[in-house]
Amino acid sequence: MASIVKKIQLLQLLRCVALGLLISSLWCLSPAIAIAETAKATFAGGCFWCMEHPFDELQGVADTTSGYMGGTVESPSYRQVSSGTTGHAEVVQVEYDPETVSYETLLDTFWHNVDPVDTQGQFCDKGSQYRSIVFYHDETQRQLAESSKQTVNQLLNQSIATEVVPADTFYPAEDYHQNYYQTHPARYRLYRFGCGRDQRLAEVWGDLSE
């Protein structure tokens, strides 16, 4: 009888150890799984206030962050970037789940929210800091971006000014720029209308936006 009790106790102990190891393994793996589920995409399309909103509306986009990329100055301020002397462009960095939303969809959203033939900037904002760019993070993104640029060129039958270049260091913009269309909706709408952004998008894309 005693031996049976000991066997039962041993089995219970082994079961507890196995369960503990399983839980521990899952806990250790979960951060890696979470990281693997998301990817980054970075786009410059003029004022970054106006670029967050269209990406935020896409299912599968986890976060958008306004910032700066493409220049030579480390940790630049908005004042420095807006002067046009740092080489940086205003960008939006998109964190997304590639299982839910494809990079092709992000590219399509980008193109339909920029004027790709503008060589001077975007809409009312002129200067290198407002140029349109696709910053690719890997070879797949580069190929898809180049292919989509060719498609846009054929669609509009005009020379495309938008650059396709490798991503480099991303510097988040100051807090007051983040989600500006939500935190300052009236100012955002006034700026967007005054800049003629939607009017120009309608001229460029028209029925092609569908």
Active site residues: 47
DSSP H or E segment with residue 144: helix 139-156
Report the C-alpha gap between 197 and 115 in whole angstroms.
9
Nearest to 77 by CA among 187, 150, 85: 85
**Residue 62 in contact with residue 97, Cβ under 8 Å?**
yes
- DSSP for 183-200, written as a single string: HSHHHHHHHHHHTTHHHH
Report the C-alpha gap between 99 and 84 in whole angstroms.
37
**Mode of pairing for the β-strands spanning 89-96 and 39-45:** antiparallel
Helix (H, G, I), strand (E, B) or coil at 35: helix
Report the C-alpha gap between 149 and 24 in whole angstroms.
47
